[in-house]
Structure 1
Amino acid sequence: MIFCKHRDCLSREERLRRSYYEVLRDELDQFVLGYSLVGSYNNFLRLRTPYPFVELRELKPRARIPSVEFDAQNSFLIIFSEDFIHKKHKKYIRYFDANKTTKNNLLRHKYFPNVENFNRNLKFFENRDFFSLLRSLLPIDYALLIQRNQQTKVKYGLTHFHVRIDWPIAEASEDLARDLRYISKDLYEKGDKYAEDFQKKLFEYYGVPVMAGGRRTAAIVAAQYFRQLPGITTVYV
């Protein structure tokens, strides 16, 4: 399996890009923490509803307590890729012209409330209103994709919205099992029961309950899929 290149294996140009990516990721980390934790907590306060803190038993391995997504909880899925995602990956990472972040697409889907003032530079990380655009698109189903602009070397932008992750869970589990050397070739080579148990192991490996909702399931599948790419990919959910 191709995995993220260590910094020592990068060229000087790639190191500079890696450093820039990590700076932007730090900014995105702070934004996501504010939106997902602080913002959600404030939503519960406004509704005068007790905040559903995680119980200790849910943090134990093999915990099978189904969690509920509350309406007051800010949910989202963001994929932030260090490099541009090649078109050969479109089979499983569904980004096309129809869901590209353009004014026409946003106007047709009515996702962006201030679409009349949209300009193409708004989607780039360097724009001061980038996080306003990002915040307005977070409630959309499926994922938002932030990646390097193909036309430039070190410019990142929110290129696509409504991005589906269509890699089957069985294939993601098989990929992880081979990587951890639980199997040599096929997920079912040791029987159906072993394959079923290892698909549960995929969720445990990423710290997500087996009965997790769609966004979190898509997040762990995406995290496993992007391990095939040589650059860093950060998945927020």
Structure 2
Amino acid sequence: MNFWKGRHCLSREAQLRRAYYEVLRDELDQFVIEYSLVGSYNNFLQLHTPYPFVELRELKPRARIPSVEFDAQNSFLIIFSEDHIDKKHKKYIRYFDANKTTKTNLLRHNYFPDIENYNRNMKFFETAGFFSLLRSLMQVDYALLIQREKRAKAQYALTHFHVRVDWPIADASENLAKSLRYISKDLYEKGDRYAENMQKKLFEYYGVPLMSGGRRTAAIVAAQYFRQMDGITTIYVSSSESRSLLRIDENGVSKSVLVKLPAVQVKHLAGIAEMTERRFTKNYVVARHGKFYICILNVHYDYTSHALPSEGGRLRELNFDTNWLTVAEEHILPKPAVTKYAPIPCKMIYA
């Protein structure tokens, strides 16, 4: 379901900007995986606390996830927009002068520890200090906003912190329901129960439980809101409950988690990748846990026909019992910063 402009619809200049955006996004992927998963694991080690590995059943669509918060888990919400966000969207995406990434604002909120060495160029993605600034702001409440600089054709910056997403869940659900042709105009046109079920389906559509905490709820509402724009947007969210990294982009939903692999499975994966076990361990294993090898599992989900626009754009009835997501691909990812090796296919959820 295309809600953004594909490359073939873009000008040559816009095509180059998108290519650049995707290169930067690849770099950001590595940073958030390291911070969300590897960094959190190290936090638990420092506290001498067992790491709460995600059960594979929790990665199934519509799975129930235990609502337990873990303080050692790194939590954050990042919105990475391909385009500059027009000021008309400030009603729902709350970014103002007061939460710009300026030295004055950071000093007022005491967020940036090395404030004496701060300079305004650090907010630009291309600078050496960008990820230091980003890391220092990761635990700030609400979202961090990375977007294209208004006066530049292809320069991206961490422009705002503490960005609230204030679009109502009901409005987001209505927007999704209309695009999928489950309603024609109003969320409540078929009654309160129907509207309530549609709001539940919004959470399922983005792969999060209904009673998710603030960051994940803000993430899915933001993802739906940004579909109104021509450019693509990538949402990264990690929470203390899920112990996973959720990424929402133009291709749908994916989750990354840490998993424990026995030696026999490591040997099997090394064989698939046509490499020695030693090379696999060096490039894919982030830590050892007793007899187990800890690796990063990435799961990509596809939408079922019920979560795609209806054929011919005809109105249809919502069947709450149908699944909207299905597991499409599972891969063991290389460690962050490893560039030479590719993800290895590995079916685990329904094995």
**Bin for the TM-score computed over the shorter chain:** over 0.9
Amino acid at match of 2:5: K
TM-score (norm 2): 0.66
Amino acid at match of 2:79: I
* Cα distance, 1:2 vs structure 2: 8.8
SS at match of 1:77: strand
Q: Percent identity?
A: 81
* Cα distance, 1:42 vs structure 2: 1.1
- Of residues 87-96 and 2-11 in structure 1, the stretch that sits farther from structure 2 once superposed is 2-11
Amino acid at match of 1:158: L
CA distance in 2, matches of 1:195, 1:40: 38
Residue ranges of structure 2 left out of the alignment (5+ in a row): 238-351
TM alignment of 1:70-219, pairs within 5 A:
70-219=70-219
* Cα distance, 1:168 vs structure 2: 0.3
* Cα distance, 1:156 vs structure 2: 0.3
CA contact under 8 A between 2:62 and 2:207: conserved in structure 1? no
CA distance in 1, matches of 2:65, 2:126: 41
CA distance in 2, matches of 1:192, 1:63: 25
CA distance in 2, matches of 1:19, 1:212: 33
Q: Which structure has the bigger radius of gyration?
A: 2
* Cα distance, 1:66 vs structure 2: 4.2
Aligned to 2:62: 62
Q: Per-residue displacement from partner, 1:68-110 (whole Å, max 9, x unpaired)?
A: 2310000000000000000000000000000001000111111
TM-score (norm 1): 0.97
CA distance in 2, matches of 1:83, 1:167: 19
> How many equivalent pairs are there?
237
- Of residues 15-24 and 112-121 in structure 1, the stretch that sits farther from structure 2 once superposed is 112-121
CA distance in 2, matches of 1:218, 1:174: 16
Residue ranges of structure 1 left out of the alignment (5+ in a row): none
More relative contact order in 1 or in 2 (CA 8 Å, sep 6+)?
1
SS at match of 2:76: coil
Q: Per-residue displacement from partner, 1:117-170 (whole Å, max 9, x unpaired)?
A: 111101000101100000000010000000000111110000000000000000
1:33 aligns with 2:33: yes
CA distance in 1, matches of 2:49, 2:20: 40
CA distance in 1, matches of 2:38, 2:52: 13
Amino acid at match of 1:205: Y
* RMSD between aligned residues: 1.4
Amino acid at match of 1:95: Y
- The answer to which structure has the higher helix fraction is 1
CA distance in 1, matches of 2:35, 2:75: 9
